Structure 1
Amino acid sequence: MKAERWEGVYSFEDSPFLMEILTELRDERTGPIAFRKGLVKLGRYMAYELTKTMETEKVPVKTPLEETEGVIVRDRRNVVIITVLRAAIPLMEGLIKVLDHARVGIVSASRGKAPKFEIEMNYVKIPEIRPEDTVIVADPMIATGSTLIKVLDEVKRYGKPKRLVVVGVLAAPEGIERIKSRHPEVEVFVAKVDRELNDKGYILPGLGDAGDRAFGAPVKLQ
């Protein structure tokens, strides 16, 4: 479902199954194992939705009975997934279940405290990006947009892809606005666009810190 406020931004509030997974992720009682499994499920679903927008090709195929026409998703063979550590690891696991030809890059980036939200990038390992590639940057929470802007700046140093896509779970309007102002060509796929950010840069109503919840290191957000 296209988000009418922005060009190239898609959310999936019309999917009851995906909203059920999101509900479990939001619930403060959901533990790390269930949280990670939910991120994997969402990644797989988002990859499936993304293939609907990819270039396909009709090909002949011979069944045991006769020859007929089949389809291959050509773009699925040219994918690079950039995983933003650490929260995006389970999300990437889901994406790669569908996009199994993908080459994978890793970026370690962390956002500092309010009000500056300075971004520290400690580790970058990105494969060469080719003109035929669809590059997917996986990051569950698009909050202020600061981390993703820095990651997207870095990704562009490795080549110019056919498409540059951000896949996440939740986004704040403020984050989308910042990303689109800096990288207008970037497409954004999220389960839902939430209401706003609080003064600490957390998405509301949100689901807390995705990395802490996925890997069992909860922090007090209030």
Structure 2
Amino acid sequence: MIEDKRWKGVYSFDDSPYLMEVLTELRDKETDSIAFRKGLVKLGRFMGYEIIKTMETEKVKVETPLEETEGIIVKDRRNVVIVTVLRAAVPLMEGLVKVFEHARIGIVSASRGKAPKFEIEMNYIKIPQITPEDTVIIADPMIATGSTLLRVIEEVKKYGTPKRIIVLGVLAAPEGITRIKEKFPEVEIFVTKIDRELNDKGYILPGLGDAGDRAFGAPIKLSTLPQVHTIE
């Protein structure tokens, strides 16, 4: 885990050969949906373990079958809220809950409009009440323009003031990170890798394409469906 010198509290995992290998498979345009989803689950789980390294621990006494010894508990691991940005973040959440099994789950449906405005439409918001002891992890694979996450963070703050807010993603563009940190400097960002830039359509380069479409298949346009004719 490496803290990026351009921002405070922004971490990537370029130092992990395992995560870089998983990311390489995700980038490959020949990777099918099943393998893509499995890759996101792997990233969510591994990055969850890394987040635990930043959490508070407490020493405890434990009785083995032979004698008493000292161990630890990770206190913050029991106070986690995972907010999943539909639909691409569902496999990431699956990986995270393998690590944070006590987590309460929030769901947000958010879609980004076309360039240049990139307006955000939110159709569904279901977030549990947040306490000052909670660590909120917002899972969204792609941090591109940052527009979606800015809206999601605003919504999260309506449900309470947590101990920490963490954004967890696969790829990020510098432009999106900068926008988030300018408005919410306290928010921490953990991503597998920070890519080069955005193109004029708001896609991350070199990127991996649309994570939702690659994980679950591209939506079918109504105009492409076969016409059904009835005989009277």
> Where on the TM-score scale, by shorter chain, does this alignment land: which range?
over 0.9
Q: Could you tell me how far 1:217 is from its partner in structure 2?
A: 1.7
- For 1:74, the equivalent position in structure 2 comes to 75
How many residues are matched? 219
SS at match of 1:199: coil
SS at match of 1:109: strand
Separation of aligned partners in 2, 1:123 and 1:151? 11
- Structure number with larger C-alpha Rg: 2
Q: TM-score, normalised by structure 2?
A: 0.93
- For 1:178, the equivalent position in structure 2 comes to 179
Q: TM-score, normalised by structure 1?
A: 0.98
- For 1:34, the equivalent position in structure 2 comes to 35
- For 2:84, the equivalent position in structure 1 comes to 83
- For 2:224, the equivalent position in structure 1 comes to none
Q: Could you tell me how far 1:65 is from its partner in structure 2?
A: 1.0
Query: 1:164-194, CA deviations, whole angstroms, 9 ceiling, x for partnerless residues?
Result: 0000000000000000011110000000000
Cα RMSD for the two superposed structures: 0.9
Q: Could you tell me how far 1:218 is from its partner in structure 2?
A: 7.5
- For 1:122, the equivalent position in structure 2 comes to 123
SS at match of 1:82: strand
- Percent of aligned positions that are identical: 79
Separation of aligned partners in 2, 1:96 and 1:199? 35
Q: Which runs of 5+ in 1 are unaligned?
A: none
Separation of aligned partners in 1, 2:97 and 2:204? 26
Separation of aligned partners in 1, 2:12 and 2:74? 22
Query: 1:119-175, CA deviations, whole angstroms, 9 ceiling, x for partnerless residues?
Result: 000000000000000000000000000000000001100000000000000000000
Q: Which runs of 5+ in 2 are unaligned?
A: 221-232
Structure 1 segment 164-175 matched on structure 2, within 5 A: 164-175=165-176
SS at match of 2:98: helix
Separation of aligned partners in 1, 2:167 and 2:47? 11
Separation of aligned partners in 1, 2:218 and 2:121? 20
SS at match of 2:105: strand
Query: 1:182-215, CA deviations, whole angstroms, 9 ceiling, x for partnerless residues?
Result: 1110000000000000000000000000000000
Letter in 2 for 1:66: E
Structure 1 segment 63-212 matched on structure 2, within 5 A: 63-212=64-213
- For 2:26, the equivalent position in structure 1 comes to 25
Distance 1:215 1:2, change over 3 A: same
Divergent runs of 4+, >3 A: none
